[in-house]
Every structure is written in C-alpha cells, then in structure tokens.
Amino acid sequence: LEPTITCFTCHASNANDCTGPTCQGNYCTYVRTPYDVSRSCSISSWVMFPDNSVTSTINQCERKNINGQEYAMEVCNSGPYCDTHCNSVSPLSTEPTVSCYTCNERNANDCTGPISQCNYCTYVRTPYDVTRACAISSFLFFPDNSMTTTINQCERKRINGQEYAVEVCNSGSFCDTHCNSAS
C-alpha cells in the first residue's frame, strides 16, 4: 500500500501530546506511557503494549493498566493527524519513590555504589557483569529483545547458552535483591 496519511512524528516526556515534523504512512500511531508520549507513522495496523499484547481496534484509543501503570495507544487511518483520541490521558506522577544503587561490576553477582532516587530499581546480571540502576519505566529488555514480564521478582533467561537475570522492582528502597545469588 502507498502511504496515504500525514501524521506527526514526535516524542515528549511528561506530556499528553506532542507535535513536530510530519511523516506519511498507512496509519498514524499514538503511544502514551506514564512518562512519555510518541506519535509516528506506521505501515502496521497495530502497536504493542509492554505486556506484549497488541492493540485490537483501529481509530480508537485503547487504554490498559499494566502493573499499576496506565498505557494508552491508538492506531488510526481515518484522516491526517487522526491519532487524537488518547491525548486526554493525564500523566502519572514521576516523583521518585525508591532509593536504588547505581553501579556496574565485572565478574560479580552484585554491586553497590552511589544512591539515586527513582520510580524503579533495576538489576541486570549478564555472564560478564552486573548492573544496578534507577529507572522510570517498569520494564527492561533481555538481549534477545524480549521484555520483562514481572515486577518485584527475578526473571532468569537462558539465551544462546548464557544465563541472564533481570529484576525491576518498586516494593521499597534497594528492593532489587531477588537475583543477586550465584544461581
């Protein structure tokens, strides 16, 4: 199909909407997380939520609560700049809620370092190092581009024969301790 719709292509933090340069596509997309919004063109008639589900309707805002966070997404083809049904979703607070270590250590199972305030603590252990950090979103990606699916517990995954351990948590300060054992 030839691109037929003009859409904005933009990204903004802590906002409900954005405008910017334009693009041509078969569909306009609107993706709203608790912390940012992006609009773009697409050749696909769907966008993916962080839980790996996809939008199921065209020309309508779809809202979803995932792990206590609201997401709003829209795919439309009803006319230029048609992705406006979701931009009334109010932004959620981005006030820091937990204290987390920010560190990286090679050939280790854990590390400590400077302390930061944020919404989520993260722990990522690869075969080569461990990283603890602060995050504003409730999901991380494994090296195979699959997304974490839980909060406040360790997710382990074997990729190409190598073990990876990932945790995203917000149950309290320094909560990212479920993955730091050697197993």
Phi/psi class of residue 52: alpha, beta or left (left: φ > 0; alpha: ψ in -120 to 50)? left
> What's the mean pLDDT when you consider all of the chain?
83
Q: Does the pLDDT value for residue 93 go beyond 60?
A: no
Q: List the domain range (segments joined by +) for residue 125.
A: 98-169
**Of 81 and 183, the one with more pLDDT:** 81
**45 and 108 within one domain:** no
**102 and 68 within one domain:** no
In a domain, 113, yes or no: yes
pLDDT in tens, 98-152: 888 889 899 888 888 888 887 788 898 999 899 898 877 777 778 887 877 788 8
**109 and 54 within one domain:** no
In a domain, 82, yes or no: no
Q: Does the pLDDT value for residue 33 go beyond 90?
A: no
Q: Does the pLDDT value for residue 170 go beyond 80?
A: yes
In a domain, 181, yes or no: no
Three-state DSSP class for residue 5: strand
Strands 155-159 and 115-118: unpaired
Residue 172 per-residue DSSP state: S
**64 and 14 within one domain:** yes
DSSP E strands in the chain: the ranges are 5-8, 10-13, 22-25, 27-32, 36-42, 62-66, 69-76, 98-101, 103-106, 115-118, 120-125, 129-135, 155-159, 162-169
Distance CA 74, CA 147 (A): 21
State the pLDDT confidence band at 89, using cuts at 50, 70 and 90.
low
**Predicted TM-score (pTM) of this structure:** 0.51
In a domain, 81, yes or no: no
pLDDT in tens, 5-22: 998 888 887 776 777 788
In a domain, 174, yes or no: no
Tokens found for residue 6: 């003009």
Give me the number of domains the chain comprises: 2
Q: Are 34 and 91 contacting, i.e. CB atoms less than 8 angstroms apart?
A: yes
